[in-house]
Amino acid sequence: MNLLSDDALLWSWIALAVLVFPVLFLVSAPYGRHLRTGWGPTLRSDLGWIIQESPSFLIMAVYLTRWLRQRTDKLLKLGFDEREWMTVTLAFCWLVHYANRAFVFPLRMRGGSKPTTFTVVSTAILFCVINTYLNAKALFVYELVIRSRRSLDWAFCSGLLLWVCGLIGNWHSDAITRALRRNPEEIKEKRYAIPYGGLYRYVSAPNYFSEFVEWTGFAIAAQTWAAFSFALWTFSNLYPRARSNHQWYLENFAEYKSLNRNAFFPNP
């Protein structure tokens, strides 16, 4: 594909993120606590996560490896310049996030035998493929960081710092919910409990909020429209679901209201 068709894909992708946002307030994706019948065949959710998220890891890894191979001679003689380091660092951030999401997170799930729907898995695959394709091309084919930046700058450093904070918040929040199912009986029954601690003090879905912080940081660091489209999609996907999760806690735990949590944005 050339720049023109990639541009058309990117702007349609951004438009779709805006269109999907109101729809997700009406229809929650049928997995996890919002799993329900009527959405077609199902498969184990841990397997579903691996299948749907691994394209994000693999596509970025392929583009990075190809790019590094093309530069082997230069690298051996001169090493990376600052903008090449920035490009590789962004790809590294991507790979760290998706190594966790595609492989570590599903293998550590407590209740991974719970079904998810093929509908969710196939739409997530489509999302991962398009999103990673756009971001990998921006970094390694159009080399937007190398061409448009002069050197390491404040946008890159502050964005990277925000990305790290988001990653820590996301991993920590996922660890808190994972620890809620402590014994084989709770795991077998996929029992739910109220999570406490960390950012759960302030919001019902700190994993989602932190994930949004992560990709906002990435977008600030990368300064590409592809990266901004990912931050937008993350918000579009996760804000409505955070609201649904918040409502679900209110309906399922009588004491939840007294905890005074927001759904998505912390208000300490």
Residue 157 touches ligand NDP, criterion: CB under 6 A: no
Nearer to ligand NDP, 67 or 106 (CB): 106
Residue 84 touches ligand NDP, criterion: CB under 6 A: no
- Residues 72 and 54: their CA atoms lie apart, in Å, by 27
Nearer to ligand NDP, 178 or 201 (CB): 178
Stretch that binds ligand NDP, among 56-64, 67-75, 77-85, 178-186 (CB under 6 A): 178-186
Tokens 């009588």 sit at which residue? 254
Residue 218 touches ligand NDP, criterion: CB under 6 A: no
**Amino acid type, 19:** L
Residue 27 touches ligand NDP, criterion: CB under 6 A: no
Q: Which helix (H) or strand (E) holds 42?
A: strand 42-44
Rounded to a whole number of angstroms, the minimum distance from the CB of residue 103 to ligand NDP is 13
Residue 190 touches ligand NDP, criterion: CB under 6 A: yes
- Backbone phi and psi for residue 159, each to the nearest 5 degrees, phi listed first: -65, -45
Cβ-defined contacts of 84-87 (< 8 Å, 24+)? 84/146, 85/152, 86/145, 86/149, 86/152, 86/156, 86/221, 87/139, 87/140, 87/143, 87/145, 87/146
- Residues 248 and 134: their CA atoms lie apart, in Å, by 35
Residue 46 touches ligand NDP, criterion: CB under 6 A: no
Which of 181, 243, 246, 261 touches ligand NDP (CB under 6 A)? 181
Residue 207 touches ligand NDP, criterion: CB under 6 A: yes
Q: How many residues bind ligand NDP (CB under 6 A)?
A: 22
- Residues 69 and 20: their CA atoms lie apart, in Å, by 38
> Would you put residue 186 in left (φ > 0), alpha (ψ -120 to 50) or beta?
alpha
Cβ-defined contacts of 16-20 (< 8 Å, 24+)? 17/229, 17/232, 17/233, 17/236, 18/232, 18/236, 20/236, 20/237
Q: Which helix (H) or strand (E) holds 188?
A: helix 184-188
Which of 60, 90, 109, 128 touches ligand NDP (CB under 6 A)? 109
**Contact at 8 Å (CB) between 238 and 20?**
no
| Closest residue by beta carbon to ligand NDP | 32
Rounded to a whole number of angstroms, the minimum distance from the CB of residue 73 to ligand NDP is 37
Query: Mask of contacts with ligand NDP, 228-257, x by CB under 6 A?
Result: ------x--xx-------------------
DSSP 3-state assignment of 204? Answer: coil
Nearer to ligand NDP, 67 or 212 (CB): 212
Query: Mask of contacts with ligand NDP, 112-131, x by CB under 6 A?
Result: --x-----------------
> Which residues are at the interface with ligand NDP (CB under 6 A)?
32-33, 45, 109, 111, 114, 170, 174, 177-178, 180-181, 190, 192-193, 195, 207-208, 211, 234, 237-238
